[in-house]
Structure 1
Amino acid sequence: MPTTPTVPRTSDELEEMLHDPKQRTEILKDTSTLKDFIVAYGEQQQGDGTELRRMVAEETQRVLAQTLKEKEVSAKETDAIKRLNLDPQARAANMLTSHRQGTAHNPQAIGAKLDGEFTNAADFFASAWHLNPDPEAGAKMQRLRNSYSSVVPADGGFLVPETLRSQLLQIALEMSVVRSHATVVPMETARVPFPTIDVTSNASSVFGGMIGYWGEEGAALTDAAGKFGKVLLDAKKLTGFSMVPNELLTDSIISFAALIESLWPRALAWYEDVAFTSGSGTGEPLGYLGNPASVAVAAESGQGSATVLYENIVKMYSRMLPASLSQAVWVCSPDVFPQLMTMALSVGTGGSAIMVANAAGPAPLTIFGRPLIITEKAKVLGAQGDIAFVDLSYYLIGDRQQMTAATSTEYRFANDQTAFRIIERVDGQPWIKSAITPQNGGSTLSPFVELAARP
């Protein structure tokens, strides 16, 4: 079966293809192939979801808004018109530090070549099932495998269209702890160095070496330079795997595919969170708990092993980087929650109960005004990290923005079961490498603060 030439994403790629005799011959071998190539390239440049379409839509909205204003259309009528969000800060492409950037549709991602081939994720998973009795589904997947084999990873399987990948991660985003607060960096390659400021102290300089001086007008200036380092984001492979009886798939493949559309994002969010929280960094992301930049607040003298005291909470709050106090969150294990709700503050020989969490207030619960997230991915009560106070915008998630899916009956052939597998590539690393000594020389500060173990 002849292969369809890969459609270039940019003018530079087009020029490179046309300078390649082999590719040029493939494109120009007949009028039908040339026509299909030109149409596909045009769609790539100005089809649905492209930057050109977005610009045209925005300009149309601006002209429409100006026309309505000039014609003095009533407010009631103008409110009925659905407008695009023209706030530049709301566009994922302009939000480098937004956790939603990695989940937004990226027209430059590898899977964007397949956009429009499937109506939804359920349609994709149903078509990807190699035993699907619908001959058109099998023919479509074979065509796509032949056409886009050059961009499918070595793991095999079918490349997930970018529209579906972004939809799946949008679902996962609402269920995650770390990704929903972290800084997500889209990765164009499997390994991406991300710049960071190599800072350990603000006592004599800031940003790792930047120094400011007060002096008389015309006085000589003293040279100063900040120290910059890098965090290497190296995409790790997260594989989702499940076994399904073939009878279930045969009886209702569409219904099951729709279930997968809901369950896989939950599963991916779960395993991502586990690694982003406490991963070792070897073959998986490095978690924020216990990382080299974290601060562990010691237990109080004589404190019980399975307790959390009011003094612990106060001291943890005091070790947070001041610039992060307005966006840090508390993360604790379910076992810690009773400790928070029954705390007592010693007063002389007696004591009085003190409500640290606003149990009577609206959700979410807060401690000292900052949200409290309860998750079983935190450490068990008594272990370091059973409660933490963290600014997760200082945690980097490298998102390869690439997924593949595959099915097989070989693994459990004797059991008449089909194995479903989905693969994504992602990494996670703290943005800074060490805690910071403040300008006044006091206790070190960090955007990652944990309560130490109480043995």
Structure 2
Amino acid sequence: MKKILELREKRAKAWEAAKSFLDSKRGGDGLLSAEDTAAYEKMEQEVVDLGKEIERLERQAAIDAELNKPVSEPITNKPNNNPDGEEKKGRATDKYKKTFWNAMRRKNFYDVENALQVGTDSEGGYLVPDEFEHTLVEALEEENFFRSIATVIQTSSGDRKIPVVATKGTASWIDEEGAYPESDDSFGQVSIGAYKVATMLKVSDELLNDSVFDLEAYISKEFGRRIGAKEEEAFFTGDGKGKPTGIFNAAGGASDGVTTAAANITFDDVMDLFYAVKSPYRKKAVWVLNDTTVKALRKLKDNNGNYIWQPSVQVGQPDMILNRPYHTSAYVPEVAAGAKVMAFGDFSYYWIADRQGRSFKRLNELFAANGQVGFLASQRVDGKLILSEAVKTMAIKGSSSGA
């Protein structure tokens, strides 16, 4: 290797010398004399010869490296019944994934019994392979932005008890040798359970039997779209009865930070909502509202003529309202009398609890007369705002606000 490097340096110097000689010996007509031409060709040939020698040495080094390889590769994985030394376990194994999708495609696939024994067929549906479950979660995140700003936790069984500090103690000034005053924190609990959201789709026999059709991608995208949309609706407006408790729900949701004085939103209303959230929560706070509300806010100015809405001028930077980013959703209520139309705060205090394991079930006979096969998908999830002061909402003046 050292020899090759030396030759490369020598060739570079020889080429620079040849170019300098050529530039210095050209006459007024740009041509060389016969003597100078012979000298230049000799210098150029040296460069060519050095290049060939470098190529020979590099080929020799490659052959030596190949011959020095061991005749067999050492075993790096723990030997088992898989010659490739499969490392993934349980529902993550390639074998489980393959047999799972074979079971989804075929009506009578008896080989599935042993391969799927790790995914218990408790209520008629096998647990989704780990890789596909991850794909489904990604699809939910694409369809439902709320998961990106909330805190998502995993639960395995039963309710999840979340301790919350309800009130905090305070310090006091005391005289020398005076008694220390008692001031304890008070604690509460928020319980997060699991509600079931489900959907069904039908696929024709022709598509199932077509190897070109990507069943996995289709099901993950379609189930993700359906479940994600239903989740987002509940996270905003759910009443907590058979579904998560939404941010805008009167009971268990965020409290009103401001109620407008008129049937429309003013600059002062938005500013009041901004400062209704305590300073520590404003550091990571975002706005959540409907597209129609954003359209109304774009027309608002402060007393100096500055618009409240600021468009992004840099790639990757979001648009802003009062220098804080915002998200829009069709499930946030539009401006109407008595409606809660905006929320502002740190949404990481809204916790989403996913019950581990999403279940699929194939229906062979129900739609057989139509040449179709049904698929059921279900997920168990709950969501709650665990600290009400972290997020505040804006309510429009109306009968429900006491106006």
TM-score if structure 2 supplies the norm length?
0.69
Report the CA distance between 1:373 and its aligned residue.
0.6
Change (3 A) 1:431 1:47: farther
Change (3 A) 1:47 1:324: farther
User: Which residue is 2:380 aligned to?
Assistant: 425
Report the CA distance between 1:357 and its aligned residue.
1.5
Indicate whether 1:311 and 2:265 are aligned.
no
SS of alignment partner, residue 338 of structure 1: helix
Report the CA distance between 1:218 and its aligned residue.
5.1
Are the counterparts in 2 of residues 125 and 257 from structure 1 also a CA contact under 8 Å? no
SS of alignment partner, residue 180 of structure 1: helix
Among 69, 86, 92, the alignment partner of 1:115 is: 92
Indicate whether 1:452 and 2:390 are aligned.
no
User: Which residue is 2:71 aligned to?
Assistant: none
Report the CA distance between 1:314 and its aligned residue.
0.5
> Which structure: larger Rg?
2
Of 167-176 and 272-281, deviating more is 167-176
Distance 1:252 1:356 in 2: 54
Report the CA distance between 1:321 and its aligned residue.
2.4
User: Which residue is 2:344 aligned to?
Assistant: 389
Distance 1:426 1:366 in 2: 31
Are the counterparts in 2 of residues 390 and 447 from structure 1 also a CA contact under 8 Å? yes
User: Which residue is 1:370 aligned to?
Assistant: 324
Change (3 A) 1:117 1:126: same
User: Which residue is 1:104 aligned to?
Assistant: none
For 1:169-188, list aligned pairs within 5 A. Answer: 169-188=137-156
Change (3 A) 1:125 1:342: farther
SS of alignment partner, residue 179 of structure 1: helix
Distance 2:240 2:136 in 1: 25
Are the counterparts in 1 of residues 195 and 382 from structure 2 also a CA contact under 8 Å? yes
Among 219, 232, 237, the alignment partner of 2:196 is: 237
Report the CA distance between 1:140 and its aligned residue.
4.2
User: Which residue is 1:75 aligned to?
Assistant: none
Are the counterparts in 2 of residues 190 and 400 from structure 1 also a CA contact under 8 Å? no
Indicate whether 1:128 and 2:103 are aligned.
yes
Distance 2:127 2:138 in 1: 18
Distance 1:425 1:400 in 2: 5
SS of alignment partner, residue 331 of structure 2: coil
Distance 2:112 2:307 in 1: 58
Distance 1:224 1:253 in 2: 69
Report the CA distance between 1:174 and its aligned residue.
4.0
RMSD, aligned α-carbons: 2.9
User: Which residue is 1:341 aligned to?
Assistant: 298
SS of alignment partner, residue 165 of structure 1: helix
Change (3 A) 1:215 1:253: farther
Among 223, 239, 262, the alignment partner of 2:182 is: 223
Gaps of 5+ in 1: 1-37, 41-45, 50-111, 200-205, 435-445
1:269-322 Cα deviation digits (max 9, x unpaired): 222111111111111111111344523244443x23xx3221221111011122
Distance 2:99 2:386 in 1: 36
Distance 2:259 2:184 in 1: 39
Distance 1:364 1:47 in 2: 44
